[in-house]
């Protein structure tokens, strides 16, 4: 059934999703479209992918308490790593609580989204994402695709933690603050500071989760944590406007994240769904918890032992939905490959070729629309490029 929830694309035709440069592009202005009963055809999804009007069952995901892990309790750490491992073997999603992230920071990060997305379209377009790039403002995917468009707006920006080897001034490490200042001007400096702090908190949390993943796989705390200490990650603000025909469209279509790890914080509206056990299941919002899921890059790094999971977002006709997504990614020069302990030449051979994150990023931005087969098709593409 999972195959029916996405669109298979032969490797030789992966570019057919891209709009030609001569094609007029639809403008997604949420201040107008969110009130229209007749939504443009480009936002109407195929019948077999449209959301059900019946609320799905909730997905039972483990609620992992990180307090003992963060305080150095060895027994609590082993228990947390066990729960993480069980979730990643089953569907790749789990929740973390007592994670050490300041609740006020999370509230501010949610509230300040309105300061950006409530701006006129012309103001938001000052940060417009360019073709082939993954950062900037995107009003739906109107510049990339011509059908099955998501009912959403996003603002994405890069983040890198301060390097221990960086002798430059501390201001050079404030990449998020600099982004907001350069793209949107002084009036948005307060957003830059909050999202800089939020990204730093997410990076710290993700490194802790990498320790738990390493323990759960029997490779120890250090290998994955050290691999991502100099991460070059992506932060995304997601805004899903109301839609008068939520039965026809999707906030984001079925896909697996191509990144390593996603840490998501939902508002209280709800809309996240995961495809598990042959059907779509919901993950209810919990302000005190972060939703964590495995992405394709870490699936390759685990040699396919841990799976990235198909998920999507639905919209509603009454309220906007907002979420904060931090995508952990390795630095551009790191080669993604599994630790030797996870590769057995007889029983557990290498499933994916070596690659770098920029290679997979370019593939998903220029050649292929992410779905549940991204890693499989990307692996074939890498092999073709090398031969």
Q: What is the pLDDT along the chain (387 residues), one digit of tens a residue?
A: 332 333 333 332 223 333 434 445 678 889 999 999 999 999 999 999 999 878 899 999 999 999 999 999 999 999 999 999 999 999 899 999 999 999 999 999 999 999 999 999 999 999 998 876 789 999 887 666 778 899 999 999 999 998 644 433 344 589 999 999 999 999 899 999 999 999 999 999 999 999 999 999 999 999 999 999 999 999 999 999 999 999 999 999 999 999 999 999 999 999 999 999 889 999 999 999 999 999 999 999 999 999 998 999 999 999 999 999 999 999 999 999 999 999 976 777 899 999 999 999 999 888 888 888 899 999 999 998 888
Residue 5, pLDDT score: 33
Note whether 108 and 191 are within 8 A (CB).
Answer: no
Residue 8, pLDDT score: 36
Residue 172, pLDDT score: 54
**Per the residue annotation, which of 7, 281, 321, 369 is the catalytic one?**
321
Of 177, 187, 190, whose CA–CA distance to 108 is shortest?
A: 190
Of 145, 384, 141, 159, whose CA–CA distance to 259 is shortest?
A: 159
Would you call 321 a catalytic residue per the annotation?
A: yes
- How many C-beta neighbours within 10 Å does residue 108 have? 17
Q: Which two tokens stand for residue 63?
A: 């609620």
Can you tell me the distance from the alpha carbon of 162 to that of 100, in angstroms, rounded to the nearest whole number? 20
Note whether 262 and 37 are within 8 A (CB).
Answer: no
Q: Total structural domains in the chain?
A: 1
Cα dihedral 89, 92, 98, 102 sign: positive
| CATH code of 292's domain | 2.60.120.330
User: Apex CA 161: angle with CA 159 and CA 165, to 5°?
Assistant: 135
Residue 338, pLDDT score: 96
Residue 292, pLDDT score: 97
Which residues contact residue 55 at a Cβ distance below 8 angstroms, ignoring those fewer than 6 apart? 282
Please list the residues that pair with 266 across neighbouring strands: 323
Residue 25, pLDDT score: 61
Structural domain containing residue 160? 2-386
């Amino acid at each position: 059934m999972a195959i029916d929830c996405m669109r298979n694309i032969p490797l030789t035709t992966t570019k057919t999703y891209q709009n030609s440069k001569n094609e007029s592009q639809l403008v997604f202005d949420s201040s107008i479209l969110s009130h229209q009963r007749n939504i443009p055809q480009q936002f109407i999804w195929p019948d077999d992918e449209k959301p059900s009007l019946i609320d799905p069952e909730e997905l039972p995901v483990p609620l992992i308490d990180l307090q003992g892990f963060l305080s150095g309790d060895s027994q609590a750490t082993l228990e947390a790593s066990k729960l993480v491992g069980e979730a990643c073997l089953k569907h790749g999603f789990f929740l973390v609580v007592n994670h050490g992230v300041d609740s006020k920071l999370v509230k501010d990060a949610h509230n300040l989204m309105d300061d950006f997305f409530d701006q006129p379209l012309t103001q938001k377009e000052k940060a417009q994402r360019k073709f082939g790039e993954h950062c900037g403002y995107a009003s739906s995917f109107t510049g990339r695709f011509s059908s099955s468009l998501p009912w959403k707006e996003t603002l994405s920006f890069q983040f890198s933690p301060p390097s221990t080897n960086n002798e430059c001034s501390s201001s050079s490490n404030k990449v998020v603050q600099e982004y907001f200042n350069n793209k949107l001007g002084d009036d948005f400096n307060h957003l830059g500071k909050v999202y800089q702090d939020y990204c730093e908190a997410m990076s710290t949390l993700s490194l802790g989760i990498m320790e738990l993943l390493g323990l759960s796989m029997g490779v120890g705390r250090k290998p994955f944590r050290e691999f991502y200490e100099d991460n070059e990650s992506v932060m995304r603000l997601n805004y899903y406007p109301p839609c008068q025909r939520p039965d026809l469209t999707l906030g984001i279509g079925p896909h697996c994240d191509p990144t390593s790890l996603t840490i998501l914080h939902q508002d209280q509206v709800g809309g996240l769904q995961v495809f598990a056990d042959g059907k779509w299941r919901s993950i209810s919002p919990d302000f005190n918890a972060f939703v964590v899921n495995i992405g394709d890059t870490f699936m390759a790094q685990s040699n396919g032992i841990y799976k990235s999971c198909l998920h999507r977002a639905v919209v509603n006709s009454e309220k906007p939905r907002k979420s904060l997504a931090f995508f952990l990614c390795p630095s551009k020069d790191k080669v993604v490959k599994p630790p030797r302990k996870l590769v057995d030449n007889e029983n557990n051979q290498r499933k994916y070729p070596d690659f770098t994150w920029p290679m997979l990023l370019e593939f998903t931005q220029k050649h292929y629309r992410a779905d549940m087969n991204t890693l499989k098709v990307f692996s074939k593409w890498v092999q073709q490029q090398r031969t």
